[in-house]
Structure 1
Amino acid sequence: MRALPILVFGLAFTSAPLFAQNLYIETGQLVDVVGGTVRTGQCIHIVQDRIDSVAPCGATPKGARRIDWSDLTVLPGLIDLHTHLADAGQSADLALPLNTSPAETALIGAHNARVTLEAGFTTVRDVGTYRGLTDVALKNAINAGHVPGPRMFVAGAYITIPKGGGELNGVIPNEQLPADMRLGVAGTPEEAKAKTEFLISKGADFIKTIATGAVLAMGTEPGEPELTEAQLRSVVDAAKAKGVFVTAHAHGAIGIKNAIRAGVRSIEHASLIDDEALAMAKQAGTWLVMDIYNGDYIDDIGTKEGWPEEYLRKNRETTDIQRIGFTKAVKMGVKIAYGTDSGVYPHGQNARQFAYMVRYGMTPMQAIQSATIRAAELLGKQTELGTIAPGYYADLIAIKGDPRTDIRLLENVAHVIKGGTLVTPAQ
């Protein structure tokens, strides 16, 4: 892969973090996502990787480095709950994931992680990779400080039926695919349970199931159920025994209802959700993670680049109706958290979805909350992530202007701090 030497050079020599351990950040406006308000004149004291205090600005604490962001708006680091960092990306070439080696996939993932972090997303949930466990390796490399990237929660592989929406279909016979591309393939509840336990033992933080067909998988239909309710329940039960959540890729209403009844924590996409499924989600407290931006990207770039017509057709059949379902979910008060399906479109553009969420029913503050405090709640990390408050991880971003009046300002982040470390240069 010719680009790899350049990629590695870039990782070594760009975006070098400054390892400050005691910072005093002077803010212009501070977004309080808990109260849904904005405060002025506040300073944030960071010690090591946590926030020590948030209070009206005063003298710089002894030993701290004062950083002047008094002309900027400061928010919690953003969270994207539907990414594919550790993957080769989407293109017209169906064989790309197969022809990209595990080592190449990991290096591509390192690049994706860096640009995602620089875009202000300090935490992500990576919801699956064709090369199983590559996401675990990337998470471990980030945690060890070998590569810059967001805090990652990873699935390890897709739990999917043979030739289902989580398989690489249409390239070679699936039985001939490398073993690492079929780690989650399961045909029975017993196999689904075993695969779940295996992935958790190998470092998966949550489990991703494929409850319906997919838009971007050959030979599957988004509205058709795949994993049965019994299979989904076996995964949920096995994961619960290990203290792990389960999410379900589910476009069609039948698959969504199967997943809710089985006890999953969240539904990805929910493109064809109906009123009954919306009511079920609200009653059960099931989260929706709806990627309402990337349908436009697929239609535009996919058409220009010659993506398979099957992909384009299924995308057209799901994009507008998904947005209608999103608007209904917002009005009904169904739990919604931020997730974009980055990897389908270029990484680092994750914030482009905010404008769509506002267009289809959320207030700007609700959209911000979906990618901060609400996303942290879905992760079960609401006491550590998603808020600027004492004891929380020091994950911050700074932007110019007020996102309450122009949500697209979040697409241009000026500064990023992750875990007390300056990712972008301070002023």
Structure 2
Amino acid sequence: MAISRLRSIAALTLAALPALAAFAQPAALAITHVTVIDGRGGPQTDMSVLLQGGRIAAVTPAKTLHLLAGTQLVDGRGRFLIPGLWDMHVHLMRPGRVETYFPLLIANGITGVRDMGGELPLAEIGRLKREVEDGTRLGPHLFAAGPLVDGPYPVLPHLSRVVTDAASAEATVVELHAQGADFIKVYNRLPRDAYFAIADTTRRLGMPFAGHVPFSVSAREASDAGQKSIEHLFNVLFACSSREDGLMREKAAMLASSDADERRRLRRDYLRGVLDSYDPQKADALFARFARNGTWQVPTLVQRRFFAQPDPAIAGDPRLRYIQRSQRIRWDPRQDGRIQNRDAEDREIEQRSYEMDRAMIPAMLRAGVRFLAGTDSPDPYAWPGFGLHDELAALVDAGLTPMQALQAATRNAAEYLGLQNETGAIAPGLRADLVLLDADPLADIRNTRRIEAVIFGGHLLSSLALQQLRDQAAAAADRN
């Protein structure tokens, strides 16, 4: 079937959340004369990719492809085929979000996500995962932590399991593992002994842990303890300070204060101390440690950038139609107290923090640190679906090459999750989760937005089907 006829493929109605079975899966599908960019080497031009039974059957020069009778053809001339994308930091496991955002993610070529903490019970998350895998629900492959694990006075009480010491931390990890959590998400206020108990228990169970670097430990200690990824570069800059020990005491005083005004003053003093004492040699040693220990980084620059550089124009962005109605007011910086309550000093500190975090990325790359692409969506102001493409562009602006950024959302995600024999590349035997672009992402990473079709589990979703998924997401957003 020629690409010009993709729009004629029958697609779903908008009456209900779609099943993958709503999209026809041909006995065999071949994308011919396409440029393949799979993140394992340079682009391969004039290739054909044969899909059968939801898997990639062959990747071969176009002139050597032998087709079975009845194979559906897609003409890939002038187009580029990449693996399905992974958003490695989302928060979808909350009421109404699956209905709204699963279709939107697929429409944006995102075929897998790592959920970093939510409200839905792990039993319900397990059901969602099974429905995606058996095709009764259209949505991305899902790895999920379940609740956050935090200490006393948690930052997000409604999303957190609270632990107070090593014994309660160990018991919580064992319980969440038994309930089906794929990993443990650690958060800001974990006591020091609880944090290391989590590290020991997950190691014993063969289970990863990831998340923020709690205030009670350093990024160096977190890396040595086996924390698999650090989100948002959280507390990494602190560990690059020549005054780290003294600043740790200042941070403890800030956290212990019960007076809001004093806490704000102490926080400013502490943050300025971090920003003014960056030690490049200490940073290089830390980054070498990350590389040696296999500590991945998930910068979520799109989320960080907006808080550093808020733009009131977002209140009129047409993509707000895809944000849950109940959540839209939180996406208006004119109503967001976290932004509006800042003064000039707060704004200057936030901007400097973001710029210095961003500036560490090239040094990390030189040291061999591995990166993943994540957005923090749909938390303000990280667009579900669309935001991953923004993140890839932000990573390139921060120093990654277009290929490295693409790898952060494909090959690297698969390796991090231990799925390199299932996804993340375009090779025989892997899942047929692919994105067909009409422009070269290596020439301009922003071309990952130019999606002509998505192939998910061997099912071809045309541009018309993708638009219908976006429309369905908007309708669900209005209901929620």
TM-score (norm 1): 0.80
* Structure 1 Cα separation of the partners of residues 397 and 152 of structure 2: 38
Match of 2:203 in 1: 240
Higher percent of residues as helix: 2
Change (3 A) 1:425 1:408: closer
**Does 1:146 pair with 2:155?**
no
**Does 1:121 pair with 2:110?**
yes
Match of 2:335 among 303, 306, 310: 306
Opposite residue 43 of structure 2, the aligned amino acid is V
**Does 1:322 pair with 2:351?**
no
Change (3 A) 1:18 1:249: farther
Query: Counterparts in 2 of 1:154-165, with a 5 A limit?
Result: 154-165=144-155
Match of 2:323 in 1: none
Change (3 A) 1:252 1:315: farther
What's the CA shift string for 1:46-104, capped at 9, x where partnerless? 111211110012342234222222231100111111111223xxxxxxxxxxxxxxxxx
Which shifted more, 127-136 or 190-199?
127-136
Query: Secondary structure, in 3 states, of the residue corresponding to 2:111?
Result: strand
Opposite residue 160 of structure 1, the aligned amino acid is D
Unpaired runs of at least 5, structure 2:
1-12, 241-282, 315-330, 466-480
Change (3 A) 1:13 1:282: closer
Opposite residue 307 of structure 1, the aligned amino acid is D
Change (3 A) 1:413 1:379: same
Tell me if structure 2 keeps the 8 A contact 1:27–1:73.
no
Which shifted more, 322-331 or 147-156?
322-331
Tell me if structure 2 keeps the 8 A contact 1:21–1:47.
yes
**Does 1:341 pair with 2:373?**
no
Query: Secondary structure, in 3 states, of the residue corresponding to 1:70?
Result: coil
Tell me if structure 2 keeps the 8 A contact 1:30–1:73.
yes
Tell me if structure 1 keeps the 8 A contact 2:439–2:450.
no
* Structure 1 Cα separation of the partners of residues 14 and 172 of structure 2: 33
Change (3 A) 1:202 1:253: closer
**Does 1:284 pair with 2:321?**
no
* Structure 2 Cα separation of the partners of residues 243 and 421 of structure 1: 34
What's the CA shift string for 1:276-330, capped at 9, x where partnerless? 5323212212111111122233423556342123797585464222212223212
Opposite residue 402 of structure 1, the aligned amino acid is D
Match of 1:194 in 2: 171
Change (3 A) 1:235 1:424: farther
Change (3 A) 1:139 1:162: farther
Percent identity, aligned pairs only, is 29
Change (3 A) 1:398 1:426: farther
Deviation at 1:254, TM superposition (A): 4.6
Change (3 A) 1:130 1:28: same
Match of 2:459 among 404, 421, 425: 421
Opposite residue 338 of structure 1, the aligned amino acid is A
Opposite residue 189 of structure 1, the aligned amino acid is A
Deviation at 1:209, TM superposition (A): 1.0
What's the CA shift string for 1:112-146, capped at 9, x where partnerless? 11111110111111111144435444323323433
Query: Secondary structure, in 3 states, of the residue corresponding to 1:340?
Result: coil
**Does 1:51 pair with 2:56?**
yes
Deviation at 1:376, TM superposition (A): 0.9
**Does 1:41 pair with 2:36?**
no
Match of 1:96 in 2: none
Deviation at 1:238, TM superposition (A): 2.3
What's the CA shift string for 1:248-276, capped at 9, x where partnerless? 22387954233212211111111442215
Change (3 A) 1:316 1:271: farther
* Structure 2 Cα separation of the partners of residues 192 and 418 of structure 1: 38
Q: Is the radius of gyration larger for structure 1 or structure 2?
A: 2
Deviation at 1:368, TM superposition (A): 0.8
Query: Secondary structure, in 3 states, of the residue corresponding to 1:337?
Result: coil
Query: Secondary structure, in 3 states, of the residue corresponding to 2:451?
Result: coil
Query: Secondary structure, in 3 states, of the residue corresponding to 1:402?
Result: coil
Opposite residue 297 of structure 1, the aligned amino acid is F
User: Could you list the runs of 4 or more consecutive aligned residues of structure 1 that deviate by over 4 angstroms after TM superposition?
Assistant: 12-16, 251-254, 310-317
Query: Secondary structure, in 3 states, of the residue corresponding to 1:353?
Result: helix
* Structure 2 Cα separation of the partners of residues 67 and 241 of structure 1: 48
Query: Secondary structure, in 3 states, of the residue corresponding to 1:41?
Result: strand
Match of 1:108 in 2: 97
Tell me if structure 1 keeps the 8 A contact 2:119–2:146.
no
Tell me if structure 1 keeps the 8 A contact 2:186–2:209.
yes
Tell me if structure 2 keeps the 8 A contact 1:327–1:361.
yes
Which shifted more, 21-30 or 7-16?
7-16
Match of 2:67 among 57, 60, 69: 60
Opposite residue 185 of structure 1, the aligned amino acid is V
Tell me if structure 1 keeps the 8 A contact 2:34–2:47.
yes
Query: Secondary structure, in 3 states, of the residue corresponding to 1:28?
Result: strand
**Does 1:73 pair with 2:80?**
yes
Unpaired runs of at least 5, structure 1:
1-6, 88-104, 169-180, 213-225
Query: Secondary structure, in 3 states, of the residue corresponding to 2:230?
Result: strand
Change (3 A) 1:19 1:372: same
Deviation at 1:202, TM superposition (A): 1.7
Aligned length: 375
Tell me if structure 1 keeps the 8 A contact 2:19–2:135.
no
Match of 2:328 in 1: none
Match of 1:391 in 2: 429
* Structure 2 Cα separation of the partners of residues 25 and 193 of structure 1: 50
What's the CA shift string for 1:154-208, capped at 9, x where partnerless? 111111112223434xxxxxxxxxxxx44x2211122112111222222211211
**Does 1:209 pair with 2:198?**
no
TM-score (norm 2): 0.72
Match of 2:266 in 1: none
CA RMSD across the alignment:
2.8
Change (3 A) 1:136 1:27: farther
**Does 1:82 pair with 2:89?**
yes
